[in-house]
């Protein structure tokens, strides 16, 4: 029996993880969960899944929770999350936090040599080198939850990677795959993803394809491949979740329904597989389509490749910080969809960061860039 902690349990990945864990009661004991503000959902989860520790955000009403659940130990804020994952009893951490909030939890999970299933791709975008080095030094595997990376991971399992030619990441292309003009796109349009149901930030990142850009960076650090061996192909059905091309021209891929409970369950049950209800019938799907991405309309992909080319400037940290601010302004209807692209391009050209910084310096740097990007938006765009 392993003790597990789910960070970001009230989110889209977090809730799906709790669902999967409820089917694996003889393998995992749910020790702790964390959430930020959604107390109502957290209360439901506490009643249903009965964790022993619960960490809430700084602004959540901890006294209300303490009065309601006398047998649970409540912690608060980032320090609370760090305390929870550092507990001796914890074996396994699922990091389903969003944005930079996932950075230190990834760090302390690896530092304390716990198993890690990682959904928080931003950790690898900000500090991929540090985390891949830590994982190697501590002989810990970072198990991907992101569907594309889970697919690649499954195709590579049992291999050392010697014969790998390239990694092929598929992209649904989001709601604006073939839309010529991005002016007048509303928040509601951008939140309407054709295939996946996800949290708001990643849904907007999918609409701009910055998400795919982050996934290129995530793949580099997870699988130790150069950017010139990572390809993106648009596949609008989201059935083939990514692939690996080998030296002899063979391509291996993983296919399945577009439900995140499949990659989540694999991260928790590998190498075995759970019996899940999300089967697909290939004859019903009939056809799968593939096309090259449009790098002009989705300039976000070029920014990600560019950041990997100029690795010494750590531009991926800049992209993550600028994107976090831009998406939050867009979600609050303070800027236009097209402004997100402008802000990313501008920040990429203006800022740089020292890759040799440690994790705490990278966190501070992210904070500083986010502040500067906010000021820029207020000054130039009036958000
Ligand atoms: P959600 O927005 O749905 O959930 C985020 C979770 O993190 C919630 O529990 C939220 O709490 C908590 N949280 C938010 N901000 C903070 C903070 N500052 N401090 C502490 N906790 C915080 O996100 P998703 O589940 O969609 O995504 C989670 C991660 O997984 C992201 O990195 C995303 O890129 C990645 N991912 C997601 C996929 C998906 O299908 N959703 C697919 C692949 C990757 P509260 O609810 O209280 O606000
Ligand atoms: Mg993905």
Q: Which two tokens stand for residue 324?
A: 């976090």
The verdict on the CB of residue 182 being under 6 Å from ligand 1 is: no
Give the Å distance between the CA of 196 and the centre of ligand 1: 15
Longest dimension (CA), the chain: 63
Cα(177)–Cα(156) distance, integer angstroms: 29
- 142 - beta bridge partners? 116
Looking up tokens 């389903």 gives 96
Residue numbers in the chain where pLDDT is lower than 70: 355, 383
Q: Which domains does the chain have, with CATH numbers?
A: 2-144 (3.40.50.720)
Cβ–Cβ under 8 Å, residues 54 and 75: yes
∠ CA 299-329-351, rounded to 5°: 55
Instruction: Supply the residue whose CA is at minimum distance from atom 40 of ligand 1.
Output: 198
Q: Which of 13, 127, 200, when mutated, tests ligand 1's pocket best, judged by the most ligand atoms within 8 Å of its CB?
A: 13
Q: What pLDDT score was predicted for residue 383? A: 64
Alpha carbon nearest to ligand 1 atom 41, residue: 198
Which tokens go with 74?
Answer: 């409540």
State the Cα–Cα distance between residues 181 and 163, nearest whole angstrom. Answer: 42
pLDDT of residue 260: 96
Q: What is the pLDDT of residue 355?
A: 64
CA distances from 326 to 27, 295, 333, 370 (A): 41, 20, 11, 9
Distance CA 227, CA 244 (A): 14
Q: Which residues contact 15 (CB under 8 A, 6 or more apart)?
A: 9, 41, 45
């Amino acid at each position: 029996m392993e003790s597990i902690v789910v960070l970001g349990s009230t989110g889209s990945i977090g809730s799906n993880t709790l669902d999967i864990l409820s089917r694996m009661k003889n393998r995992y004991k749910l020790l702790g969960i964390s959430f930020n503000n959604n107390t109502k959902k957290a209360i439901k989860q506490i009643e249903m899944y009965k964790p022993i520790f619960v960490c809430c955000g700084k602004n959540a009403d901890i006294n209300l929770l303490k009065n309601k659940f006398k047998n649970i130990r409540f912690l608060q804020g980032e320090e609370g999350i760090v305390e929870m994952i550092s507990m001796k009893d914890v074996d396994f951490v699922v990091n389903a936090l969003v944005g930079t909030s996932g950075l230190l939890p990834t760090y302390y999970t690896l530092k304390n040599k716990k198993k890690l299933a990682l959904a928080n791709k931003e950790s690898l975008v900000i500090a991929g080198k540090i985390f891949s080095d830590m994982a190697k030094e501590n002989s810990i595997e970072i198990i991907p939850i992101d569907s594309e990376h889970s697919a690649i991971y499954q195709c590579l399992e049992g291999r050392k990677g010697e014969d790998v030619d390239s990694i092929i990441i598929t992209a649904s292309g989001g709601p604006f795959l073939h839309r010529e003009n991005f002016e007048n796109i509303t928040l509601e349009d951008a939140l309407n993803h054709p295939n996946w149901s996800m949290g708001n930030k990643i849904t907007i990142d999918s609409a701009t394809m910055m998400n795919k850009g982050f996934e290129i960076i995530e793949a580099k650090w997870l699988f130790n491949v150069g950017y010139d061996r990572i390809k993106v192909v648009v596949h609008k059905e989201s059935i083939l979740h990514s692939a690996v091309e080998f030296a002899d021209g063979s391509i291996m891929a993983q296919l399945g329904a577009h439900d995140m409970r499949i990659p989540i369950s694999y991260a928790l049950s590998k190498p075995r597989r759970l019996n899940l209800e999300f089967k697909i019938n290939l004859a019903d799907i009939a056809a799968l389509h593939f096309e090259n991405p449009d790098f002009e309309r989705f300039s976000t992909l070029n920014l990600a490749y560019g950041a990997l080319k100029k690795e010494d400037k750590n531009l991926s940290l800049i992209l993550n910080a600028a994107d976090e601010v831009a998406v939050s302004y867009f979600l609050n209807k303070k800027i236009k969809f097209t402004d997100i692209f402008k802000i990313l391009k501008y920040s990429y050209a203006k800022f740089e960061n020292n890759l040799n910084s440690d994790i705490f310096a990278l966190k501070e740097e992210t904070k500083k860039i986010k502040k500067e990007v906010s000021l820029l938006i207020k000054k130039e765009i009036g958000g």
